[in-house]
Structure 1
Amino acid sequence: MNRIILRILAQRIALSLLLLLLVSVLIFAGTQILPGDVAASILGQSATPEALANLREELGLNAPAWQRYFDWLGGLLQGDLGRSLTNGRDIGEAIGQRLSNTLFLATTAAVIAVPLAIFLGLVSVLYRDRWPDKLISALSLAAVSVPEFLIGYILMFWVGVQLGWAPSVAILNDTMTFWERLHAITLPVAVLTMVVLAHMMRMTRAAILNVMQSPYIETAELKGLGTFAVIWRHALPNAISPVVNVVMLNLAYLVVGVVVVEVVFVYPGMGQFLVDHVSKRDVPVVQACGLIFASVYILLNMVADIVSILANPRLRHPK
């Protein structure tokens, strides 16, 4: 049994690494077709052709694309993300604090959204086709249907400006205490929580309802167990595999999909950092941010896959 699990884990890790390699190729190729000229954006429109040519040579932009890709990949394997073209700073150092801010925002939203989503999913199943279920389903559908930026601007206007309960712009600095940082990110956390909570709750409800149709659930009911006991002791443990998958996918979204929310609230995270350098056509920074986002997404999906295999013996012995 242990040998089977180890083989499956090795396969998943190898596939994830291969996928990450393919994603790195796509990221590099995508940045190469971006419009504009880095040298011209650095020197300005008044730059002479000689100055532009010298800067391109200095930045290594005249080398073939395949050579620049392998140079970039070799640096990544050594832990070197390169240097920014616009200011010459080490990208790893510049990204460090930004990534920490993004993880702080995503973790706070996850701590609120995950248990609340599972609880609401259980309540929805417990009161299936009754008013609590219909109310929760209607609110979740509305939250999923409204774009994040619209929810953000609405909360910014009403909660931040009209009521003054939270800052409308989420600005952090090193002198803030933990609670001051939490207060500063109240609105972006609320937006992220509303979006992922709705999706996780709906998928949790669907997974548990699917298990509730199994014969052993009927047997448990015939033994006289109450509805809540049947759901908690029998349905939820057997629905944990799809629930974990949904939770991990939404956690990946919280880290990768925060770009819009960070831009709306001017939050100093990875998303805002990426947008700023896309406008400057700072290709190494865009490549580094894209690869970090892809790595987080692939890692969390791999973890979801592994947890599902460990939680469900049937997945360890596919037919």
Structure 2
Amino acid sequence: MGDILGLVGKRLGLGLVILFIISIIIFFMVELLPGDIAQAVLGQGATEENLAAMRKEMGLDQPAIVRYLGWLAGAVQFDFGSSIVTGKAVSAIIGERFVNTLFLAAYAAVIAVPIAIILGVIVALLRNSIFDRVANVATLTSISSPEFFLAYILILYFSIKWGMFPSNAKISDGMTLADLLYRTFLPALTLVLVVVAHMMRMTRASIISLLASPYIEMARLKGAPPWKVIVKHALPNAWAPIINVVALNLAYLITGVVLVEVVFVYPGIGQALVDAVSKRDFPVVQACCLIFAATFILLNLAADVGAILTNPRLRHPK
């Protein structure tokens, strides 16, 4: 148990260091963007006095390192400052949006993860068959297609031609769960098509690589049926790479939904990021990027912990 806690502690410490470095990159890359923030807020008709007052109010008269340390201290307490456009607290603006993104990611994950693992096992059982070849072509096509392209294809058929689902995924507070699932089905399906292909291929590759192991050959020589060889012998030893790829795809579901949310006008944090960029609302941009980075690092940490728990060799490397 102590070894596991030590490994988790090292991974967590490394994750915090990486997040600190990313926070520096996020803050100073925004600082390097061309244009004057105060000028963008007040407009072209602003006087020099008004611009100077706005820069002082926004803290732009202080050195960049001082502003970064103040921003980082607030971010640790989930205080990202105030929006330049609306004047509201950034945490209040993106809080509800982030919950919406988590809901969409969970919706897609509940569908995608079991389908990907089951299909991966099936194509491993039917390796080199027609079904396997068709599945490989379909998954390669899905992986190669950009999310927005898949989204527009789904809108064309499911919304415009067949009229089964709405193309606009706007939601409101008074909606029931059934209505919410119905209105967000197309964006969730878009994400499912992307991540299922990747997870299925990794599951198939992990199982096929294990099928050449001596203990698998022994199980076959003992007369075990093919499904039992995979489910009982191969799959438990393939969990570590499968958990890794599942966690990475879950991270993608949260951090890679920007285009999907924009296409379907879904009120998530990705849409908030795009709106903030178009309005030059830099505090919101910085907060969204930092949340994306923290989420990705956290899910990578979860993948490492899952791999350690399922693989004794990682717990005892010597």
Question: Does TM, scored on the shorter chain, surpass 0.5?
Answer: yes
Name the structure 2 match of 1:240.
Answer: 239
- The reply on whether 1:9 has 2:2 as its aligned counterpart is no
Task: Assess if the C-alpha contact under 8 Å between 1:200 and 1:247 holds in 2.
Answer: yes
Cα displacement (A) at 1:77: 2.1
- 1:209-253 superposed Cα distances (whole Å, 9 cap, x missing partner): 111111100000011001100000000000000000000000000
- 1:55-78 superposed Cα distances (whole Å, 9 cap, x missing partner): 111111121110000000111222
Stretches of structure 2 that go unaligned for 5 or more consecutive residues are none
Matches within 5 A, 1:157-168: 157-168=156-167
Cα root mean square deviation, aligned: 0.9
Percent sequence identity is 53
Distance 1:36 1:156 in 2: 37
SS at match of 2:159: helix
Name the structure 2 match of 1:201.
Answer: 200
Matches within 5 A, 1:185-200: 185-200=184-199
Distance 1:12 1:49 in 2: 50
Give the alignment's TM-score, normalised by structure 2.
Answer: 0.98
Matches within 5 A, 1:94-109: 94-109=93-108
Distance 2:73 2:3 in 1: 34
Distance 2:22 2:212 in 1: 40
Moved more, 37-46 or 15-24: 37-46
* One-letter amino acid of the structure 2 residue matched with residue 253 of structure 1: Y
SS at match of 2:75: helix
Name the structure 2 match of 1:72.
Answer: 71
Name the structure 2 match of 1:153.
Answer: 152
Task: Assess if the C-alpha contact under 8 Å between 1:37 and 1:281 holds in 2.
Answer: no
Distance 1:80 1:145 in 2: 39
- 1:91-123 superposed Cα distances (whole Å, 9 cap, x missing partner): 111111101110110000000000000000001
SS at match of 1:42: helix
* One-letter amino acid of the structure 2 residue matched with residue 155 of structure 1: L
Q: Between Structure 1 and Structure 2, how many residues are aligned?
A: 318
Name the structure 2 match of 1:318.
Answer: 317
Runs of 4+ in 1 over 2 A off after TM superposition: none
Name the structure 1 match of 2:30.
Answer: 31
- The reply on whether 1:217 has 2:193 as its aligned counterpart is no
Cα displacement (A) at 1:38: 1.7
SS at match of 1:318: coil
Name the structure 1 match of 2:116.
Answer: 117
- The reply on whether 1:142 has 2:141 as its aligned counterpart is yes
- 1:273-297 superposed Cα distances (whole Å, 9 cap, x missing partner): 0010011111111111011111110
SS at match of 1:239: helix
Cα displacement (A) at 1:37: 2.0
